[in-house]
Structure 1
Amino acid sequence: MKKIIIAILVIFIGTTSCDSGFEELNVNPNTATELEPGPKLTNAILRTAGDRFENWRGNLIYSSMMIQHMASIGGVWAGDKYLYNAQWSGAWFERGYNDQVKIIEDIVFQLETDPEDQYSEEMLAIARILRVFIYHKITDLYGDVPYSEAGRGFIEGNFRPAYDPQSEIYADMLNELAEATAALGTGTSQFGTADILFDGDQDKWRRFGYSMMLRLGLRLIKVDPTGAQQWAQRAIDGGVMQSNDDTSYVEHTDGPEGINRNGNGQVFSADDDMRLSDTFINALAGDPRLRIYAALPDGDGDRNTSGSNDPAMQRGLPNGLDATTVLNIPGGDDINNFSEPNRNLITAEDEPYFFQTYAEVEFMLAEADIRWGIAGGDPAAHYSAGVRAAMRQLDLYDVGDQSVTDIEIQDFLTANPFDAANGLEQVNTQYWIVTFLNDIESFANWRRTGFPVLISVDYPGNESNGLIPRRLRYFEREQTTNPQNYQAAISRQGPDQFTTRMWWDVE
């Protein structure tokens, strides 16, 4: 798998850049008729995992800070204090369309219009599932976004795509998942090992598709509870992930170029200003995962820390502080008194990047049982399975002798059994924990459920009146390169502000 990643990089090196608008974003870098779809799929998956640019800005600076997985006293990490930085806020939009949408739309078009009928039906089904995954992250960050006309500049000459209402985007994404999963067969797809998620395993792609259907179906809970139940039931009946073997993740390497490396890991290699939030550290009290997630830096702040990961010594940094106000809390005179993401275990550039995990699915099944009793009627069993899967999932990192033991897992479940009276909060708090470093998803699920309960900060000059933001603001250049469609979107959805709620996030 790692050799394939390196080989594909040679083909695609230099194909993307920080382009100025959709006209440039949609210039096809390859000429589709000259490349097989397999190498393109490899590239699309790597681009979907993201490079340092968009992960630093959209996933970490904003989502992880707002959702209180991490904290910072530095001005760069604007999301900690709900400050607006145009480049940071628009980064996932910019790179999403440039590096992800453009490529996946090219693949889908090539497979749909194959004149020689040389590509199998399941190849198109796999590409459609990946396309849904790409778009759902973009729309969940921004709301109404280009969808039906997006990525079609080279194909149709439309360089200024309309923004679709999120309600229509969600309806189409769910329909795409229904059709794509139904089109998958058995055995290995024609993509073969070019598929660096599942090595062409159609059964795994089907379970991924239905698991995505479950995620998107539950996203409707506040705006269409009946539809949410129907889509959740359809996903469960179709067959969601069954074990950690079904988890969807990219196995990264440490080079030779950026897209082979874990985008989050590239950030941690370059920056040491972030710390773990005290909200996250406190939630992990008594949890054996704390020693894997957290470590105190060396006294000199060495990025390649050999500092302690003793759970008893970990201490989180409160959100919303700066270099002056941090001095008002005990230990605030030295930022190295506060825990950071464990650089020895989970933040290296060759660590996995998760798309969706089996643990997440089990927590969603627990919620489906709490709400409707449609996943077997035993939310406690799904909660326990989710906790076990979340702790075993950490073995995919290079954790060595720090791996959580089966005894520790059982001890945790004994001390923290399923609590029916607070079931929704309990399972969604666990969902928040297991999606650490996948913070765009953490942010979306928090807005959907309200869990965990977070206390917002009110830093001077913040953009949301001291409220945790409900979305990110669009890529600012859209105001000049696609002005009519941009204006139509904000006229329909509401002002392009952090506090504007998107379609599925009603009060």
Structure 2
Amino acid sequence: MKRIYIPLLLATFVAFTLTSCNDELADVNRNPNATENPQPAYLLSAAEYHAANLYWGSTTSYNSSLLWIQHWAKIQYTEPDCYNVSNSDFATTWDTGYATLVANLTAILQSDLSNDNYKGVALVWRSWTYLLLTNLFGDIPYTEYGQSVTPAYDSQETVLRGVLSDLEEADKLLTVSGEKIEGDLIYKNDISRWKKLAKSLRLRIGLELGDRDENTAKKIISALYEDRSNLINSNEDIAQFVFTSSPQWNPWASAFSSRDDQRISKTLVDKLNAWSDPRVGVYAQLPQDVSVKTYVGAANGLSADAANNQGFYKLSLPGTSFLKDSAPAVFYTYAEVLFIYAEAAARGWITADANSLYQQAITASLNQFGVSNEDVIEEYLQQEGVQYDASRWFEKIGWQKWIAYYGQGPDAFTDWRRLGYPQLAAGPNSALNAGELPRRFFYPATEQSLNGKNYRLAVAHQGADEITTRLWFDVEKKNR
């Protein structure tokens, strides 16, 4: 694929970061004699840009989680869609997460800057990074990262609870009336929205604790629900990074500019078609073969020959809005917040109408993707397959949240494992045992060679370093 080059818009920011930071930031983190005055605007811009490329890029998204969650399917080079992957396939996710994002953001936090708003934003975004890493790998270095060249791994439970505390601290650091910041390309230096994101990330983690520590989950979510006006509470608050034109383009646009490996998944398109979902024309394109008059998805988990034989031009590409150079990388939506409230109401954690919140969540997603006609929305909500059913809340919320997550492969992957819905099936050429699906990423091979002792301790605690090993939050659902 075409290499994604450093964006021109961020040339000064990223030039600083790449020439002086990537090799030295780890030293800044652990060397008391290193500079304590990094340029925070440069580091923040670079961390946000690299996070967007990581979250929506090949290793973390369209050649892994986006396939495994069956939003997309491969029609060429189908190995990752058949779960035929190795521990070298996820090294970029690990290395970028730690050596670029965590390192840059920690440099801001450990500086002697007097501007607490920079530190608050850095702590929120570092928390987002740690949450991404632990939800993909499980046990990871957290408390010792940056303090040792061979940091110990913390349990996922420790990471989740630690990040919750970090986000509380970030909320305290962030002050709307405080000093201004620069270099923020997600919220354009708007501290009030960073405070909303800090609380909303705590909401996400609270839900993730639910099957392990229901009392804590209920306490966190009920308190945040009472404070809901200070969380993400409209589509205007969506956390996203807006790309511009080549070469600082969206990684999906970059991929499709030179390759033709992916199509929309049959699993997704069939559900959208069955419910006459008005988002289908946003998520997908009509096939290039003009004789095909409807949206058609590609089957997941096929051999290369079988995938090719479906017909390149008879299958739907991703929607044009997602393949524009400037298409945003979306990290957190208003719809997700409302779906969390709906699930909390269904589980009795908050006093609220689960059905109303469920409908509000679907409406927020429809609005997000350009569907605003009230009659169209109401018609969609009244379909039997869409209507809320309290006795099957996990199924109803699971399907609709999965649809709303389109494009957000890593978080859709997390929520599918946590909730158990939608119920997905492996393709016929799966490399795993019958009925098994991926549930995590492999640790990179460099951890075995450079941090072998701690790697082995992590595997002994968590389970085999296999993609089928369940993470701590991923509790088997026997009663659903």
Q: Is 1:205 paired with 2:194? A: yes
2:248 is the alignment partner of 1:266: no
The 5 A counterparts of 1:190-269 are: 190-191=180-181, 193-239=182-228, 240-255=231-246, 257=247, 260-269=248-257
Post-superposition offset of 1:505: 1.2
Distance 1:59 1:326 in 2: 20
Name 2:328's counterpart in structure 1: 352
Name the CA distance, whole Å, in 1 between partners of 2:234 and 2:178: 19
SS of aligned partner of 2:240: strand
> CA offset at residue 267 of structure 1?
2.3
Match of 1:63 in 2: 65
Measure how far apart 1:382 and its partner are.
1.2
Alpha carbons 1:289, 1:404 under 8 Å: kept? no
Distance (whole Å) between structure 2 residues aligned to residue 34 and residue 82 of structure 1? 45
Give secondary structure in 2 for the equivalent of 1:194. coil
Task: Give the Cα separation in 1 of the matches to 2:156 and 2:412.
Answer: 19
Instruction: Please report how far the alpha carbon of residue 264 of structure 1 lies from its aligned counterpart in structure 2 after TM superposition.
Output: 3.1
What pairs up with 1:95-174 in 2 under 5 angstroms? 95-110=96-111, 113-114=112-113, 118-119=114-115, 121-150=116-145, 152=146, 156=147, 158-174=148-164
Deviation at 1:266, TM superposition (A): 2.2
Alignment deviations for residues 382-438 of structure 1 (CA, whole Å, 9 cap, x no partner)? 11211121112124xxxxxxx553332222123233232322221222111121111
Whole-angstrom CA distance in 2 between matches of 1:224 and 1:455: 29
Deviation of 1:503 after TM superposition, in Å, equals 1.3
In the alignment, the residues of structure 1 paired with residue 174 and residue 223 of structure 2 have an alpha-carbon distance, to the nearest angstrom, of 16
> How far is 1:66 from its partner?
0.9
Q: Which amino acid aligns with 1:43?
A: A
Query: Which residue is 2:396 aligned to?
Result: 426
- Shift in CA distance, 36/271, structure 1 to aligned 2, threshold 3 Å: same
Pair 1:177–1:487, CA change in 2 (3 A): same
Tell me, what secondary structure is at the counterpart of 1:355?
A: strand
Match for residue 290 of structure 1 among 262, 280, 305: 280
Give the aligned partner of residue 316 of structure 1: 297
CA contact (8 A) 1:294 1:314 kept: yes
Q: 1:384 to 1:323 in 2, by over 3 A?
A: same
User: Which amino acid letter does the alignment assign opposite residue 442 of structure 2?
Assistant: R
State the 1:457 CA deviation: 2.9
**1:36 matched residue in structure 2:** 39
- Once the 2 structures are TM-superposed, how far is the Cα of residue 32 of structure 1 from its aligned partner? 5.1
**Please, which moves more after superposition, 313-322 or 350-359?**
313-322
Cα 1:26–1:438 change in 2 (3 A) is same
Q: Which residue of 2 aligns with 1:337?
A: 314
CA RMSD across the alignment? 2.7
Q: In the superposition, relative to structure 1, how do residues 393 and 333 fare at CA in structure 2: closer, same or farther (>3 Å)?
A: closer
Q: In the alignment, which residue of structure 2 is the partner of 1:409?
A: 377
TM-score (norm 2): 0.88
Is the 8 Å Cα contact of residues 82 and 464 (structure 1) preserved in structure 2? Answer: no
How big is the shift at 1:236?
A: 1.9
Aligned to 2:362: 387
Query: SS at 2:110's partner residue?
Result: helix
Partner of 2:244: helix, strand, or coil?
A: coil
In the TM superposition, what whole-angstrom CA distance separates every residue of 1:415-466 from its partner, at most 9, and x where no partner exists?
A: 2332323222212221111211110000000000011111223526x14554
**Alpha-carbon distance between aligned partners in 1 of 2:100 and 2:287, rounded to the nearest angstrom:** 34
Alignment: residue pair count: 459
SS of match in other structure, 1:477: helix
Q: Secondary structure at the match of 2:73?
A: strand
Q: CA deviation at 1:107?
A: 1.3
Say whether the 8 Å CA contact 1:61–1:78 is kept in structure 2. Answer: no
Q: 1:7 to 1:345 in 2, by over 3 A?
A: closer
Match of 1:74 in 2: 76
Contact 2:303 2:429 in 1 (8 A): no
What is the CA-CA distance between 1:261 and the residue it aligns to? 2.4
Give how far 1:99 is off.
2.2
Q: AA paired with 1:26?
A: A
Moved over 6 A (4+): 22-25
Structure 1, unpaired ranges of 5+: 300-306, 396-402
2:306 aligned residue (318, 325, 341): 325
Tell me which moved more, 216-225 or 445-454.
216-225
Shift of 1:35: 4.0
Could you tell me which of 349, 352, 367 is aligned with 1:377?
A: 352
Corresponding position of 1:365: 341
Rounded to whole Å, the distance in 2 between the matches of 1:421 and 1:204 is 36
Q: Equivalent of 1:50, from 50, 53, 74?
A: 53
Residues 458 and 465, structure 1, Cα contact 8 Å, conserved in 2: no
Q: 1:222 to 1:468 in 2, by over 3 A?
A: same
**Corresponding residue SS for 2:388:** coil
Contact map agreement 2:25 2:107 (CA 8 A) in 1:
no
